[in-house]
Chains A and B, each alone.
Chain A
Amino acid sequence: DAKTTQPPSMDCAEGRAANLPCNHSTISGNEYVYWYRQIHSQGPQYIIHGLKNNETNEMASLIITEDRKSSTLILPHATLRDTAVYYCIVPRAGNNRKLIWGLGTSLAVNP
């Protein structure tokens, strides 16, 4: 998998937007960026993925820079339930089928 770099922790006020950055400078042209989150003691939850266009779903928005070397996950109106560890992953293209997980960003949403 392409190496990803995320800040170890971030804070956000409830109701504000949470912007979580990820650097993936070694990403290849056909590799997607995936985001997951893990709330304490639960299994990871898929959030969103994208290739080069910005993506939005009911959970979040994903902004990928034009050179694809970095991306930002945006939670538009963070709630206390969004407190979790967020992982940015770039799986290797092909049929490798395994995800390489870093340590992610621990997001604390404060009241």
Chain B
Amino acid sequence: KAGVTQTPRYLIKTRGQQVTLSCSPISGHRSVSWYQQTPGQGLQFLFEYFSETQRNKGNFPGRFSGRQFSNSRSEMNVSTLELGDSALYLCASSLAGQGDYGYTFGSGTRLTVV
């Protein structure tokens, strides 16, 4: 079956711009989580969506937002980009059953802010 698909794979943006990243989960998976990975901080949880509702949120500023559509596809948006937003952004999907942490991750979108 198809895995988690993230688009685009690579992105270069200028400070102050905004960016939208997309994630298509595995068919039947209703939970989509987003993580930011940088060399200094490792993987940091951004937020999780389930049935079009944000269910959990990490400690990121309001410039980071997301949404989930009825087909479970998700997007995340970062406004007013800063150099420090350069990172690998990872999306993970799961069935979201109770206690289910067996996530399937996509290959990520590598964002470079210049």
Is A97 among interface residues, defined by CB-CB distance under 8 A?
A: yes
A89 touches B101 (CB 8 A): yes
Known A97-B33, A97-B56; judge A46-B42 contact (CB<8 A): no
Stretch in B14-22, B63-71, B74-82, B105-113 touching the partner? B105-113
Known A43-B108, A45-B105; judge A97-B55 contact (CB<8 A): yes
Closest Cβ neighbor of A42 among chain B residues: B107
Residue tally, chain A, CB below 8 Å to B: 21
14 A-B residue pairs with Cβ-Cβ distance under 8 Å, sorted by A, are A32-B99, A44-B90, A46-B102, A46-B103, A46-B104, A95-B98, A97-B48, A97-B50, A98-B33, A98-B48, A98-B58, A99-B101, A101-B35, A101-B42
A residues with a Cβ closer than 8 A to B are: 32, 34, 41-46, 49, 89, 91, 93, 95-103
B residues with a Cβ closer than 8 A to A are: 4, 31, 33, 35, 42-45, 48, 50, 55-56, 58, 88, 90, 92, 96, 98-99, 101-108
